[in-house]
Amino acid sequence: MLDIKFLRENPDAVKENIKKKFQEDKLPKVDEVIELDLKVRAAQKEGDALRNRRNEISKQIGALMKEGKKEEAEALKAEVAKNAARLEELEEEQKTTADKITEIMMIIPQMIDDSVPIGKDDSENVEIEKFGEPLVPDYEIPYHTDIMETFNGIDLDAARRVAGNGFYYLMGDIARLHSAVIAYARDFMIDRGFTYCVPPFMIHGNVVAGVMSFPEMEAMMYKIEGEDLYLIGTSEHSMIGKFIDQIVEEETLPQTLTSYSPCFRKEKGAHGVEERGVYRIHQFEKQEMIVVCKPEDSMYWYDQLWKNTVDLFRSMEIPVRTLECCSGDLADLKVKSCDVEAWSPRQQKYFEVGSCSNLGDAQARRLKIRVRPADGSANYLPHTLNNTVVAPPRMLIAFLENHLQEDGTVTIPEVLQPYMGGTAVLTPKG
């Protein structure tokens, strides 16, 4: 969410930013906010004048009563009562108008970074760099669930009976591989200086509103019926929410945290054939990383975060690339974002396995997170960032396709072998 002062002083820049995101329907909202803001400030000014007048009259009434001028004192008391009624009207008007401003400001997009490429949707995202050689073997790579089934590693039919589409049972070596990747990712991030955390898997509605835009919330979140609780779609939600309404001491920044959680998503909409299996599902597990830092450090941490994911995948011998998200593909709270995509030998193309985002001060403003400087100067808003370390369902797809051998075995990279009980090769069961 933007600073109202920034919008008030830079309406043309805000409108240009909206155009860059191809959200022209929101352009009138800028003028509406400015008009409402004028009403709020006018009500504030009139209210302040009435309060000052009330204070003056109170002194005058006391003096008049001492002098025995009861009739004049009563006239002033009548004025106080009249002013009090008007002041009550102004305060209600001010609150109602301020709430309306907040409601509109929540849908006006964050100012994107100047480096973000301009484009309408994800088809116009820009490749930045490739890491590792994307190879296509001279033997067939089956669909990922078919590979898993050779190890008796997945049961989609039972999951449908128990929970419906979008769920799965992982079994045996595949389940162990899933857990090994999560454990390795945890230790990988701890070794990079991040503090490990297991957060709440449910959060209140005000935290949801603080960490994501309304369209994302509607498309993703499951609400607990009858309670002010939502299942998290990613642990970023509860990790950033950890700081809600807090004043963070500047000397404790940056806060660098890595968190494990299950994730729950509606995944609304129809998806193509390549998104069946375990690509888009309602429940999965993920290792996440988040940073809360000084504004001047956020771009440094943005680069560190996506590099962590690249390094993790390369350590498991999976080719990846980074893709800069264009303006039209950025969620409204994001300043800058890039995707990490893994190579699929079967599809002979890359697919998304992680997303790194710099949200500037948007989440901090919504959640009222402030930083207290050591020098005693005014508090300020920190910047928040997040990135996927690894989400095993998609990681499993990339892992199995890139490590499948012609004889149907799957090799385990050296870094993962300690988490697999020393196993170097997975052998099909039948």
Say which CATH number the domain at 153 has: 3.30.930.10
Question: For the whole model, what pTM was predicted?
Answer: 0.89
pLDDT of res. 406: 97
Mean pLDDT in runs of 10 for the chain (430 residues)?
Answer: 94 98 97 95 88 78 72 75 83 92 94 97 96 95 96 95 93 97 98 98 95 80 94 95 97 98 79 64 95 98 98 98 97 96 97 96 97 96 97 93 97 98 93
Residue 206 lies in a domain: yes
Q: 398 Cβ partners below 8 Å, 6+ apart?
A: 313, 318, 342, 343, 344, 351, 353
Whole-number pLDDT of residue 136? 92
We report the CATH number of the domain holding residue 47 as 1.10.287.40
What is the spatial distance between Cα 334 and Cα 110, in angstroms, rounded to a whole number?
Answer: 6
Is residue 305 located within the same domain as residue 386?
Answer: yes
Q: Are residues 99 and 177 in the same domain?
A: no
Buried b (16+ CB within 10 A) or exposed e, 36-56: bbebbeebeebbeebeeeeee
For the chain, the domain total comes to: 2
303 CB-near residues (< 8 Å, 6+ apart): none
Residue 59, pLDDT score: 72
Residue 112 falls within a domain, yes or no?
Answer: no
Secondary structure of residue 26 in the 3-state scheme: helix
Residue 254 placed within a domain: yes
- Same-domain pairing of 137 and 86: no
Shared domain check, 407 and 304: yes
Asked, for residue 110, whether it belongs to a domain, the answer is no
pLDDT at 273: 41
- In terms of domains, do 100 and 196 share one? no
* Whether 427 contacts 409, CB under 8 Å: yes
First to last CA, the chain: 55
Q: Is residue 113 part of a domain?
A: no
Domain end call among 105, 138, 159: 105
Query: Looking at residue 428, what is its pLDDT?
Result: 96
- The single-letter code of the amino acid at 108 is I
Q: What is the pLDDT of residue 57?
A: 78
Whether 153 maps to a domain, the answer reads yes
Measure CA 17 to chain center.
20
Q: What is the DSSP string of 362-409?
A: HHHHHHT-EEE-TTS---BPPEEEEEEEE-HHHHHHHHHHHHB-TTS-
**Domain assignment of residue 117, yes or no:** no
Q: Are residues 16 and 127 in the same domain?
A: no
Asked, for residue 131, whether it belongs to a domain, the answer is yes
Q: Are residues 131 and 75 in the same domain?
A: no
Q: What is the domain extent for residue 52?
A: 4-105
Number of H helices, E strands in the chain: 13, 17
Helix (H, G, I), strand (E, B) or coil at 262: strand
